[in-house]
């Protein structure tokens, strides 16, 4: 008989993987009736969580991207804190959001005080200027291979593995067509390497969110020893 997995527990208790992980980690945010239901499923299945499972606090949705969320393939917090490895060990895909850097890669900038990006460090002052320069470098690399900057960003994420799913927003039909058009591109490994080189490790200026919000992100915490 196969050893039960965290997915088996979630299915039995009819909850998300994140909820199971929160119960495993004894997090107080879980409702008591939900906690009891998950615990009954754990007991019934004789599920024994390992350390990797305990690190799955937010494994069902992790940030990964160019410039905005995690600026390049060598600086991926989900890899550093063991979340990606734990997800892959359990066949859990990772949703990559912020792929287009909150619009920065496609040329969008904060429209005013009502635009939440105007209040995030990466879109402020010198940080914005530096990050815009990175986006321009990516655009130059993309053009050499017949791609748009947005397509370059999406293509890079797709190249990281079939279990990493880029989540791309589009407000206009032409933007949607542009994103889908990435699938029709036949980009060589040299193209992906060029996209990586355009945005070196640690090049993005400023944090993703204000300090108070950054302190609340599980993705910023190292894996437990």
**CATH for 58-220?**
3.20.20.100
61 by DSSP, 3-state: which?
coil
Percent of the chain with pLDDT over 70: 75
What confidence category does residue 65 fall into, taking pLDDT thresholds of 50, 70 and 90? very low
- What mean pLDDT comes out for the span 175-197? 92
pLDDT at 157: 85
Class of 1-49 in CATH: mainly alpha
Give residue-wise pLDDT tens across range 21-60: 778 777 777 889 998 999 999 899 888 765 555 555 444 4
**Residues 83, 222 contacting (CB under 8 angstroms):** no
pLDDT at 219: 54
pLDDT at 36: 92
What confidence category does residue 174 fall into, taking pLDDT thresholds of 50, 70 and 90? very high
Q: Regarding beta strands 62-63 and 94-97, do their DSSP bridges make them parallel or antiparallel, or are they unpaired? A: parallel
pTM summary value: 0.63
CA distances from 106 to 89, 99, 157 (A): 34, 10, 16
Give residue-wise pLDDT tens across range 130-173: 888 999 999 999 999 999 999 999 998 888 887 777 878 788 89
pLDDT at 148: 95
Mean pLDDT value across the chain: 76
Domain map of the chain by residue range?
A: 1-49, 58-220
**Residues 101, 135 contacting (CB under 8 angstroms):** yes
Give residue-wise pLDDT tens across range 197-213: 898 767 788 777 777 77
pLDDT at 112: 82
Closest-CA residue to 125 (of 108, 110, 106, 107): 110
- Rg (alpha carbons) of the chain, rounded to whole number: 19
Name which of 3-7, 97-101, 217-221 the model is least confident about.
217-221
48-51 contacts, C-beta under 8 A, 24 or more apart: 48/3, 49/6, 49/24, 51/224
Give residue-wise pLDDT tens across range 70-117: 433 323 334 445 566 667 666 777 777 778 888 888 888 888 888 888
* Spatial separation of the C-alpha atoms in residues 128 and 35, rounded to whole Å: 43
């Amino acid at each position: 008989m196969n050893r039960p997995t965290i997915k088996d527990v979630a299915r039995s208790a009819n909850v998300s993987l994140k909820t199971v992980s929160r119960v495993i980690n004894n997090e107080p945010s879980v409702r008591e009736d939900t906690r009891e239901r998950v615990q009954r499923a754990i007991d019934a299945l004789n599920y024994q969580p390992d350390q990797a499972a305990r690190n799955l606090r937010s494994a069902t949705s992790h940030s990964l991207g160019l410039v905005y969320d995690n600026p390049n393939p060598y600086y991926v917090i989900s890899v550093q804190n063991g979340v990606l490895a734990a997800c892959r060990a359990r066949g859990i895909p990772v949703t990559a959001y912020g792929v287009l850097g909150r619009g920065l890669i496609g040329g969008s900038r904060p429209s005013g005080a009502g635009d939440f990006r105007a209040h995030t460090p990466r879109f402020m002052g010198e940080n914005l200027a530096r990050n815009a320069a990175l986006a321009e470098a990516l655009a130059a690399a993309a053009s050499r291979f017949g791609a748009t900057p947005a397509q370059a960003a999406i293509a890079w994420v797709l190249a990281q593995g079939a279990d990493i799913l880029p989540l791309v927003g589009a407000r206009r039909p032409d933007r949607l067509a542009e994103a889908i058009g990435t699938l029709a591109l036949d980009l060589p490994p040299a193209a992906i390497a060029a996209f990586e080189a355009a945005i070196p490790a640690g090049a993005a200026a400023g944090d993703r969110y204000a300090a108070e919000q950054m302190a609340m992100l599980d993705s910023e915490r190292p894996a437990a020893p």
